[in-house]
Amino acid sequence: MPKKHAREEKPKEPPIPTEGEIIGVIEKLLGHDKAMVNCFDGKSRLCRIPGRMKKKVWVREGDYVLVAIWDFQPDKRGDIIYRYSKDEVRKLAAKGVIQVETLGEE
């Protein structure tokens, strides 16, 4: 069988937080698909890893993630909706979305 030709895709731009979303760093994995995330607004939130990400995207402590803040308990809860790779974190820092001081945690 001949090999299928892989489509050449240009790299996607990392998602930038919109209203109701914020970037944070995973400080502790708690089990049961939950993690404590230190968000860039200075608050720590208990965030849930949704089922669509459980086995496809593995998250570790120290990873930069995009958090969707819950409508109720906005200061305490959220959902992890995207995990940034190290290259994407550098791109966000170059754009000014993430402050340079926060990159020392890598």
Q: pLDDT category, 9, cuts 50, 70, 90?
A: low
Q: 40-98, pLDDT tens digit by residue?
A: 999 999 999 998 888 888 899 999 999 999 999 999 999 999 999 999 999 999 988 88
Q: How many CA atoms lie within 13 A of 96 on its CB side?
A: 0
**Is residue 104 within 8 Å of 90, Cβ to Cβ?**
no
Q: How far apart are CA 99 and CA 44, in angstroms?
A: 18
Q: How far apart are CA 10 and CA 50, in angstroms?
A: 27
* 83 DSSP β-pair partners: 65
The DSSP symbol for 68 reads E
DSSP string, 75-87: TTEEEEEEEE-HH
Indicate whether 29 pLDDT > 60: yes
The structure's pTM equals: 0.81
The domains found in the chain, sorted by start residue, are 21-86 (2.40.50.140)
Lookup: tokens for 74: 């906005």
pLDDT at 6: 66
Q: To the nearest whole number, what is the mean pLDDT of the chain?
A: 86
The candidate with the shortest Cα–Cα distance to 77, out of 48, 41, 40, 106, is 48
